[in-house]
Amino acid sequence: MSVARRSLVIGVSLAALAITPAIALAAGEPFYVTLLTRIMIFAIAALSLDLILGYGGMVSFGHAAYLGIGAYAVGILAFYGITSGPLQFAVAILASAAAAAMIGAVSLRTSGVYFIMITLAFAQMLYFLAESLNIYGGDDGLNIAQPSDFGRLVDLGDPPTLYYVVLAVLLVLLLLSRQLINSRFGLLVQGVKSNERRMAALGFPTFRYKLVAFILSGTICGLAGALFANLTLFCSPSIMHWTRSGEIMMMVILGGMGSLFGPVLGAALYLLLETVLSGATEHWQAILGPLLVLVVLFSRSGFFGMLIGERTARGRADG
């Protein structure tokens, strides 16, 4: 029953995402297309964090740094008149991967609270660096004149087109992540989370596996940043502030750590609640906080676990 329920939840969600633009535009409400595009972009960012947090046990509190690097890669290239989409996205992905490699090479030599604080420190360093770059707007941010150019076939300046591009990227990443988690590499990373000393004693280079997972996670988040820059046509240091990293982590926890579809659901719940509650009161975090606590107390697998059952949500092949 739980497996059938999981398939039903995922199927209904994907069907709703597929038809939303047509319904929203027919109703004269293009705002919902933009909102759901934003939700899916942050779902990609949350998915990237879940790969190391839910499956690898690495509590990175500076994950928004890669989101900002991806966004600034698009913004800075556009600032110099380079609007080629393939080039912008390639630079965003490579820059995020390079940053994740350098940060991971240092931070993964520690564990526990030390790992959390080092990832936070690196993210704040990048945040203050972005603030200091007055040529790119500094604290005021950088306007992007036009979206990434992928030719006539893909116009990212058209909201429905951008929506379906983001949806396609999310689906591909979900499928690839599922294959990765169930691969030998994914199982080894999960084994390191369970007992790193035992895995090292068996002869596995645990540091190398964790670093590769960390780099993959940062790379995916950088891709989300490039998509976010095309959605807002604006990037600012606030995108990589530690509070943004906290929000991404809350999305993962709210949806369910260690489940591929959980972070997607968590991103949707968090941003929808933010939209609704912020319209009612400026103290919306005071309402959202207790809701998050209740989810954590009553479901170890987050909201996704509540929907499909705890045992299925914690299954290894969950997606």
User: Which domains are present in the chain?
Assistant: 2-313 (1.10.3470)
Residue 303 and residue 187: Cα distance in Å, rounded?
24
pLDDT, residue 253, reads: 87
Task: Please check the confidence at residue 68 and state whether its pLDDT lies above 90.
Answer: yes
pLDDT, residue 308, reads: 64
Average pLDDT over residues 80-84: 93
Of residues 242 and 279, the one with the higher pLDDT is 242
Task: Please check the confidence at residue 273 and state whether its pLDDT lies above 50.
Answer: yes
pLDDT, residue 254, reads: 87
pLDDT, residue 318, reads: 43
Smallest CA-to-CA distance from 122 within 146, 99, 96 is with 99
**DSSP code for 314:** T
Average pLDDT over residues 274-292: 80
Task: Please check the confidence at residue 89 and state whether its pLDDT lies above 60.
Answer: yes
pLDDT, residue 2, reads: 55
Of residues 18 and 312, the one with the higher pLDDT is 18
Task: Please check the confidence at residue 285 and state whether its pLDDT lies above 90.
Answer: no
Residues 155-208: tens digit of each pLDDT: 898 999 999 999 999 999 999 999 999 999 999 999 988 888 888 888 889 999
Residue 237: which pLDDT band, with cuts at 50, 70 and 90? very high
Burial degree of 81 (CB within 10 A; 0-12, 13-18, 19+): exposed
Are 21 and 163 contacting, i.e. CB atoms less than 8 angstroms apart? yes
Least confident interval from 9-18, 27-36, 38-47, 60-69: 9-18
Average pLDDT over residues 64-87: 95
pLDDT, residue 287, reads: 82
Task: Please check the confidence at residue 303 and state whether its pLDDT lies above 80.
Answer: no
Smallest CA-to-CA distance from 14 within 132, 175, 126 is with 175
Least confident interval from 183-192, 232-241, 301-310: 301-310
Of residues 296 and 132, the one with the higher pLDDT is 132
Smallest CA-to-CA distance from 86 within 17, 151, 20 is with 151
Task: Please check the confidence at residue 305 and state whether its pLDDT lies above 70.
Answer: no
Of residues 264 and 284, the one with the higher pLDDT is 264
pLDDT, residue 29, reads: 82
The share of the chain scoring above pLDDT 90, in percent, equals: 57
Average pLDDT, the chain: 87
Are 173 and 46 contacting, i.e. CB atoms less than 8 angstroms apart? no
pLDDT, residue 108, reads: 93
Structure tokens at 319: 């997606």
pTM over cut 0.85: yes
Residue 307 and residue 9: Cα distance in Å, rounded?
8
